[in-house]
Structure 1
Amino acid sequence: MHLGVFTVLFSQKSWEDMLDLVANHGLKAVELGTGGYPGNSHCPLDELLDSRTKQQQFLAAIHSRGLRISALSCHGNPLHPQKAIAQEADQLLHKTLQLAEQLEVPVVNTFSGCPGDSDHALYPNWPVTPWPHDFQELLDWQWKEKVYPYWTQIGQVAQSRHVKIGLELHGGFSVHTPGTLLKLRERAGEAIGANLDPSHLWWQGIDPVQAIRILGRADAIHHFHAKDTAIDPINLPMHGVTDMQPYTKMVDRAWQFRTIGYGHDLKTWADIMSTLRLVGYDDVVSIEHEDGLMSIEEGFRRAVQNLQQVLISEPLHEMWWA
């Protein structure tokens, strides 16, 4: 396994400065945003598409520092009930898949999206309870009419371009658990997998180690985000795991994102790394830093330091003792 970083946290830095910073910290990969929620500070999608000269210059800057691109990321909601929003996300995804093929990047990360409650809705509707029965009927409609058709088509496009899709299991979207990911993958094909981020599993009450085992057995882990979550034992009974307070209200929230080692100890992260190796994921661990208690630089630096203690980086050999 190798350390990488989702470079959106360095959006204020220039392209060259960002690459130098990442390389100087001993990382081996960058995950680049092409638009949508992450923005495209370091990957001008339209400029790079179909321009072999610009692509070669772009890749040369990365490779000359001993880095590679682990994924292109275009998180958005292509199932949004407002057509203009959905179309923008859909076009971005198609362009990102095209660029990934041209740059020989193996994975495109995004969200599954979430539809509304009808073709006339204005906002997404995320059902989280099977009763009253209205919610179950809504969920069935969403998957049958929106989720399955869209992602089956995208899965075919991704497969034709020899690129994998990493869906982040994130609350508020149709695919947010290992079960919903496998449900979609069964219909949409093996190009669809997970960009597995433990931080979003912890607040849902899902053990990331077991999630890795579940998805790893299905060869459904396409990319991995390293981000931590701290659960507040005092605020949790008040607000529950679906706490809707802004992330900025850190004193009052039931849970909050933290950098690696500040939500769960390094033994937990060592178990995560070991289980990734156990199920055959031996690729990039991409740091995502959204810790409201630390600066960008400190949160990133501590994530690197802590992950370097538990990362399993050397190639696996035969068991000499067995």
Structure 2
Amino acid sequence: MILFSGCPGGGPKDTQPNWVTCPWPPDFLEVLDYQWNGVAIPFWTQEAKFARDHGVKLAFEAHPGFIVYNPETILKLRKACGNTIGANLDPSHFFWQGIDPIAAARALQGAIHYVHAKDTRVDVINTKVNGTLDTKNYGDVLSRSWVFRTCGYGHDEIWWNNFVSTLKLCGYDHVLSIEHEDSLMTPKEGLEKAITFLQRVVIREKSGKATWF
């Protein structure tokens, strides 16, 4: 099952999420302690047990705005709540955070439950001015620091070759699920282009026994 971790408020009486992005002022550390130890870990421990009892794995998509947003926080929740919890590795959310999804796949070895195939184009000019935290509408492509793109329109085939190869090396040889959120293409065109692109990238055959060593 693919899901998000959610983001608790900053305290028991809060009604809105509170995403902490830095450790100062120290109030933020108190918020993080409450969110993780007071809410997220107890909640997801119970949910993970229910999922495990029913033969279901929980694949968390790391997404900024939630408490699980990078490999470190995925592994933190997994360590606290058990191996039923793992990653839905979506490279698109890592690109714009400055995370290398290939390095992330290696860090998440053994904990990758599912993979989304979605690309991101980081606008070098806008990022130099405003950084990558961007709340402008996704349709405002020219002004945004980054936008989601169809596979191949943010990173080239060589990158995707390396990504797929790394997934295989790390023990993941399963689905690449195309997710379309490209503001410049219709869902039909984006899906068709992604399929054509990924057909050249996916490794279909088992490597078999090597004869050269």
TM-score, with structure 1 as normaliser: 0.65
Give yes or no for contact 1:289–1:300 (8 Å, CA) kept in 2.
yes
Q: Give the 4+ runs in structure 1 shifted more than 2 A.
A: none
Secondary structure of residue in 1 paired with 2:125: coil
Give yes or no for contact 1:212–1:275 (8 Å, CA) kept in 2.
yes
Secondary structure of residue in 1 paired with 2:204: coil
How many Å apart are 1:299 and its aligned residue? 0.6
What is the percent sequence identity of the aligned residues? 50
| Among 256, 261, 278, the residue aligned to 2:147 | 256
The residue number in structure 2 matching 1:38 is: none
What is the alpha-carbon distance in structure 1 between the residues aligned to residue 30 and residue 130 of structure 2?
A: 27
The residue number in structure 2 matching 1:95 is: none
Alignment map for 1:61-100 (pairs within 5 Å): none
What is the alpha-carbon distance in structure 2 between the residues aligned to residue 204 and residue 254 of structure 1?
A: 11
- The one-letter code sitting in structure 1 at the alignment partner of 2:37 is K
How many Å apart are 1:223 and its aligned residue? 0.3
Alignment coverage as a number of residue pairs: 213
The residue number in structure 2 matching 1:164 is: 57
- The one-letter code sitting in structure 2 at the alignment partner of 1:139 is L
How many Å apart are 1:316 and its aligned residue? 3.1
What is the alpha-carbon distance in structure 1 between the residues aligned to residue 129 and residue 30 of structure 2?
A: 30
Give yes or no for contact 1:239–1:253 (8 Å, CA) kept in 2.
no
Calculate the aligned-residue CA RMSD, in Å. 0.8
The residue number in structure 2 matching 1:282 is: 173
Listed one character per residue, the Cα deviations across residues 64-85 of structure 1 (whole Å, up to 9, x for unaligned) are xxxxxxxxxxxxxxxxxxxxxx
What is the alpha-carbon distance in structure 1 between the residues aligned to residue 128 and residue 28 of structure 2?
A: 25
Secondary structure of residue in 2 paired with 1:131: coil
What is the alpha-carbon distance in structure 2 between the residues aligned to residue 238 and residue 117 of structure 1?
A: 30
Give yes or no for contact 1:111–1:173 (8 Å, CA) kept in 2.
yes
The residue number in structure 1 matching 2:78 is: 185
Q: Do residues 128 (structure 1) and 21 (structure 2) align? A: yes
How many Å apart are 1:141 and its aligned residue? 1.2
Runs (5+) with no aligned partner, structure 2: none
Runs (5+) with no aligned partner, structure 1: 1-107
What is the alpha-carbon distance in structure 1 between the residues aligned to residue 60 and residue 139 of structure 2?
A: 26
Give yes or no for contact 1:199–1:257 (8 Å, CA) kept in 2.
yes
- The one-letter code sitting in structure 2 at the alignment partner of 1:243 is D
What is the alpha-carbon distance in structure 2 between the residues aligned to residue 277 and residue 224 of structure 1?
A: 12
How many Å apart are 1:284 and its aligned residue? 0.5
- The one-letter code sitting in structure 1 at the alignment partner of 2:105 is I
How many Å apart are 1:267 and its aligned residue? 0.4
| Among 14, 18, 31, the residue aligned to 1:138 | 31
